[in-house]
Chains A and B, each alone.
Chain A
């Protein structure tokens, strides 16, 4: 799990959502790449973010796209976040004895504009939260940082500042995360993407 490094945060605000990740791609202590965000947009208003083994992250992303495309062509509609969480949780548990070494975060905006964020462990055990979820090598410190800075009812601008702060603070102390950051802010108007300048070590 600590081979590639990385960290991801998802935070819920007032009818909006933000997902942030660092950009480091490492091989234990060696930093291989500086442009590897661990978040993937799968829908108009939904993101999946994963930390862990990068190979499994890439494969899981392709599996999710496969299942999602089949769902949308068969059901002729876009998937709801909760349905995706259920599908993914089931899929991860199907590999109970040879798991995908990833911790996933699903973040999406429902039809009623309420954010849904959820984290899953290696085997697909879900944990929903109305506030924030974190994942990655510095997750323990991120939990503490986010707990401190998150408050309810944040608008997109404030949410962006808060999540960027938390990501930078968390990844600064962790040698396996960092080297740049990226944030996606999902709101009723659409998705905005911003890059963060961080310590490059």
Chain B
């Protein structure tokens, strides 16, 4: 748990038209050019994304399992898996490892964001022990307690996506304090349009920089 408290910041906010998740990444020179996919935010299915904070290698096992479970649910029921169910599946595994002898728990927290037809847009936060809870805005990783209290002040009901993005930038700019914002922050949007179609995309360099200015 302490190790997660020193790892990359991840913040998620539920807005009216979608959910935004921002993750911090290491500033490295990517030999392949700008990465089109977020390093720490993973797509589990077309309607669920998951941002990890902590030991990313630990998270890969859980993400793989979640992906397979999501597809198996879809195969049996011909319907998208509910967000809460995926979170429960991930957390059940995390809990088992706090129980069994000789194995250490998964050192990773998740922010799972998604949409389903029964409960709309949802954001869940999980930790190493396997507890999870639903949030409207959550922060994990380093300075999570401080960031969470800032979110409590700044969050209002009926925020739209742009306002949520500006709240995100406000918090992260304090931490990073750099003009090269796009190099250290990945922002992924899960947008719900009027036809109830979900679009998941990562904001590119220009969009992120325009947020800061």
Contacts and interface: CB of A to CB of B under 8 A. Distances in A.
B37 A63 contact: no
Given A62-B78, A76-B43, A69 B71 contact: yes
A72 to B, nearest CB: 8
A74 B68 CA distance: 10
What does DSSP make chain A's interface, helix, strand, loop or mixed?
A: helix
A97 interface: no
A66 B67 CA distance: 10
A131 to B, nearest CB: 35
B75 A66 contact: yes
A26 B19 CA distance: 47
B45 interface: yes
A69 B45 contact: yes
Determine the interface band of chain A, counting residues with CB < 8 A from chain B.
under 10
Interface in A57-78: 62-63, 65-66, 69-70, 73-74, 76
Contact of A76 (B37, B45, B71): B37
A66 B43 contact: no
Nearest to B38: A76
A73 B47 CA distance: 11
A69 B74 contact: yes
B42 to A, nearest CB: 8
A70 B67 contact: yes
B90 to A, nearest CB: 15
Interface of B: 36-37, 42-46, 64, 67-68, 70-72, 74-75, 78
5 contacts: A66-B74, A69-B74, A73-B67, A74-B67, A76-B36
